Amino acid sequence: MSNILDAREKRATHIKELMEEHKYKSIVIMKANVPGIEKNPKNMVFICRYYCELMNKTFNTKIIETKQIKSLDGDYLYYVINEAGNVVKEKTILIEEKNILGRLVDIDVYNQYAITREDLKREMRKCLICNNYAHICARSKAHSDTEVFNKINEIINDFLTDLILSKTISSIYYELDLYPKFGLVSRRDSGCHTDMDSNTFVESIFALKPYLKEYIQYGINNLDEPLKLQEIGLRAETAMFRATMNVNTHKGLIFALGAFLPALTKTILNQGDIEYIKSEIKHVSEVVIKDYYKNLEMKENKTHGDEIYLLHKLKGIRGEALKGFEIIFNTPTYFDRSSIYRFHEYLIHFMSILDDTTILHKTNIETLNEVKSTFKEIVNNGGYTKNKEEIQDISNEYIKRSISPGGSADLLVLKILFEELKYFLEKICNIKTVNID
């Protein structure tokens, strides 16, 4: 406890030094709001990263200096901001109140003195557990550390579940909205599919939502039971077929997201990197797939994917999962282009390199090789933005020839989702970490 008190004194001294060095500027101190002795729990690190992004967006060029400081009382970020203290405080209150996660972060503002909510005639912050004011409960120790930590975990879990689920659903819709689609279903037409349209996909997406939530919560709870994910996936398939009158709209994507979503969620909470994500995906896939292909010839009711493997030794989406979906992370990012063009670039990139078994299902190996060759040339000649007319013509042709790159479409959803959550998986700004002695 004495170490924590010493760390608090050092932070107070540091704040005074910053105010003296940067007179007439505002100093902001941001840290996670953590009770107990362990002030830097692993599952809360992403919170400061998230609010760092909000701070950068809010204050932008007015930030003169920012650093992350290691401390036994909780690591913190300091900002020197070229703006009036009262204005900065108002803006940081808005940041704190942006969503429920703001309850877990403290953003204090100083401009020669501490500027409080009271100074701005704003209501004091409420306790996490009850409706009393937080400072009153803290001083009286009205709630045990266990109660508070349970509430903190509940807030983190609810926030991440809602965020990742909404990003997943929006990523699936982004893929559906894309056009032209080379025989795939879009909002404009059914491509080469006579048994489904965009409404079929919407029904399917709605039916899958609870199971996608289960995938995410598996990751939040840091489970290591891959067969449980398989069981969730099988229930998701049943719900999909029920909603679509036995039409397969998302079977491959159900499998892909079953490996991808838990890995993403665990990476956020465990401060992982790309290699961590890939290893999680590989681990789940290896356990679930196991010896699936060894005795396939003896299987009575073979799927289209089984027949393709026996004929061509291609494993489709399973094979990509066994490689940790490395194709997603190796694909170039086109942030210099609008989202709709960027998503097209990703789709045609996947079509240029993927052994897409959904193309084989409706056609043959020669057609698959033709598709890959065609799109390698297009990618090398400037991609979608430089070849729009040709791509439209190819799309029309593929509809007539029943060419439907469903595997590439599934990978596109994963790529979009990864981009949507990327700021949780990387440093969201270039902050130098230093220690104060």
Contact predicate 353/372, CB 8 Å? yes
So what's the pLDDT on residue 183?
Answer: 93
pLDDT at position 38: 77
Task: Show Cβ contacts of residue 9 under 8 Å, excluding neighbours closer than 6 positions.
Answer: none
- Encode pLDDT of 292-322 as tens digits: 888 888 787 888 888 888 889 999 999 999 9
Question: Which residues fall within 8 angstroms of residue 186, CB to CB, at 6 or more apart?
Answer: 176, 177, 178, 179, 180, 198
Question: Is it the case that residue 252 has pLDDT exceeding 90?
Answer: yes
| Mean pLDDT score, 77-89 | 95
- pLDDT reading at 258 higher than 70: yes
* 200-248 per-position pLDDT tens digit: 999 999 999 999 999 999 999 999 999 999 999 999 999 999 999 999 9
Average pLDDT in the 147-168 region?
91
The per-residue pLDDT for 246 is 95
CA distance 171 to 414: 8
Cβ atoms of residues 233 and 211 within 8 Å: yes
Distance CA 110, CA 211 (A): 46
Residue 341 has pLDDT above 70, yes or no: yes
pLDDT at 336 over 70: no
Average pLDDT over residues 362-371: 94
Average pLDDT over residues 26-43: 84
Question: 379-427: per-residue pLDDT in tens?
Answer: 999 999 899 999 999 999 999 999 999 999 999 999 999 988 876 666 4
DSSP 67-102: EEEE-TT--EEEEEESS-HHHHHHHHHHHHTSSGGG
The whole-model pTM stands at: 0.85
Q: Are 83 and 64 in contact (CB under 8 A)?
A: no
Backbone φ and ψ of 29, nearest 5°: -115, 125
Looking at residue 436, its pLDDT comes to 42
Report helix, strand or coil for 50.
Answer: helix
Instruction: Say what the pLDDT of residue 397 is.
Output: 95
